[in-house]
Amino acid sequence: MNKLIYNGENIKNMSYTQSKNGNYINPKSNILLKSPLLTTFGVSEYEGNKYISFMLDNSEFLENILLFENEIKEHLQTHFGNKTMEMSPIVKYSKTFNLPSFKIKIGKAYTMFDENRKQLYPTKNNEMNPLDYIMNYSKVNVMIQFNGFFVPNNDDNIAYPMLALSQIKITKPFQYNCDF
């Protein structure tokens, strides 16, 4: 399976395989999205899955993510010939601050580095939980893998893009020294 860094042209010629139960639509070649330095809201857990959320405070990266979102949405409708198929948005906006953000799933197959490119996870002994390194408002660079779509067995006609963490580089958070 090839891994391609997203450049805007990769999606137009993508082909897919569908799972036996029909719920997962996977690309035959993976697309990776590489981020600039992003601020994270930290790690959350929902129904046993872990997710990492990001602020999209870099306008160029926000534009690229929105472009990617529109391209896979258009490709989904064109490729599957279903103009009524909707796609859940990748970028979401806060109701209170109108701040753009997105979240990706943290699976088991990812690599974590510190700012000096020292590998933190996976390691031989895996003593520490790697997610303990990711604190709220940490600065990180990530490599995100697009794994296709999940389409539930209901009549909503909504496809959910599956994005997963492939690599993460964590910059040491700023620490305050308080002398009281």
161 backbone dihedrals φ, ψ, rounded to 5°: -65, 135
Q: Where are the domains of the chain?
A: 3-171
Whether this model's pTM surpasses 0.85: no
Q: Which residue type does 82 have?
A: N
Chain centre distance of CA 136? 17
**Residue-level pLDDT, tens digit, the chain, 180 residues:** 445 566 555 566 667 777 776 677 777 777 888 888 999 988 988 888 899 999 888 778 888 888 888 888 887 777 666 556 788 999 998 887 778 999 999 988 899 998 898 888 887 776 667 777 888 888 999 999 988 888 887 767 788 899 999 999 998 655 545 555
- Residues 162, 45, 144, 86: is their CA dihedral positive or negative? positive
Distance CA 113, CA 119 (A): 4
**3-171 classified as CATH 1.10.3470:** no
